[in-house]
Amino acid sequence: MRRLLLTLLSLVALLLMLPLLALQREPALPPAPPGSNAQLAVQARLLWAQVRPGAAPSGSLRHTALSERDLNSLLAQGSQAQGDRWRARVTLLPDQLRLQASARAPGRLQGFWLNAEVVWDLRARTDGALPPLVSSRIGHLPLPPALVRWAVERWLRAQGHGPRLDAALQLRPMLEGWQAGPGFLGLRWRWQPQSAERAVQALISPADALALMAQRQRLQQLLAPMAPWSGVPVETLLQPLAELAQARQAVGGDAGTELRALLVQLTLFTLGRDLGQWLPEARAQAALPPVRVLLAGRDDMAMHWLLSAVLAWQGDERATAALGLAKELADVRVGSGFSFNDLAADAAGLSLGRLAARSPQQLLNRMAAGLRQDDFFPRVDDLPEFLSPSEFARRYGRLGSPAYEAEMQRIRERVAALPLYRSVGSEGPARSPP
Contact call for residues 241 and 266 (beta carbons, < 8 A): yes
In sequence order, the β-bridge partners of residue 142 are 137
pLDDT at 219 (0 to 100): 96
Strands 175-181 vs 184-190: parallel, antiparallel or unpaired:
antiparallel
pLDDT at 17 (0 to 100): 44
214 burial (CB, 10 Å; 0-12 / 13-18 / 19+) is buried
pLDDT band with cut points at 50, 70 and 90 for residue 186: confident
Q: Which helix (H) or strand (E) holds 24?
A: strand 23-24
Give the pLDDT mean for 245-270: 92
**How do residues 217-250 score in pLDDT, each as one tens digit?**
999 999 999 999 999 999 999 999 999 999 999 9
Give the pLDDT mean for 279-284: 81
Residue 268 scores a pLDDT above 70: yes
**How do residues 384-425 score in pLDDT, each as one tens digit?**
998 888 898 999 998 789 999 999 999 999 999 999 998 644
- Nearest CA to 380 among 317, 326, 323, 302? 302
User: What are the backbone angles phi and psi of residue 62, rounded to the nearest 5°?
Assistant: -125, 160
pLDDT at 364 (0 to 100): 95
Residue 11 scores a pLDDT above 80: no
Residue 391, sorted as left (phi over 0), alpha (psi -120 to 50) or beta, turns out to be alpha
Distances (CA, A) of 262 to 184, 226, 240: 37, 20, 10
Q: Is the Cα dihedral 236, 241, 247, 250 positive or negative?
A: negative
* pTM summary value: 0.63
pLDDT band with cut points at 50, 70 and 90 for residue 334: very low
What ranges make up the beta strands (E) of 199-354? 231-233, 292-294
Pure H helices in 271-339: 280-283, 299-314, 317-334
Instruction: Pick the more confident residue, 434 or 95.
Output: 95
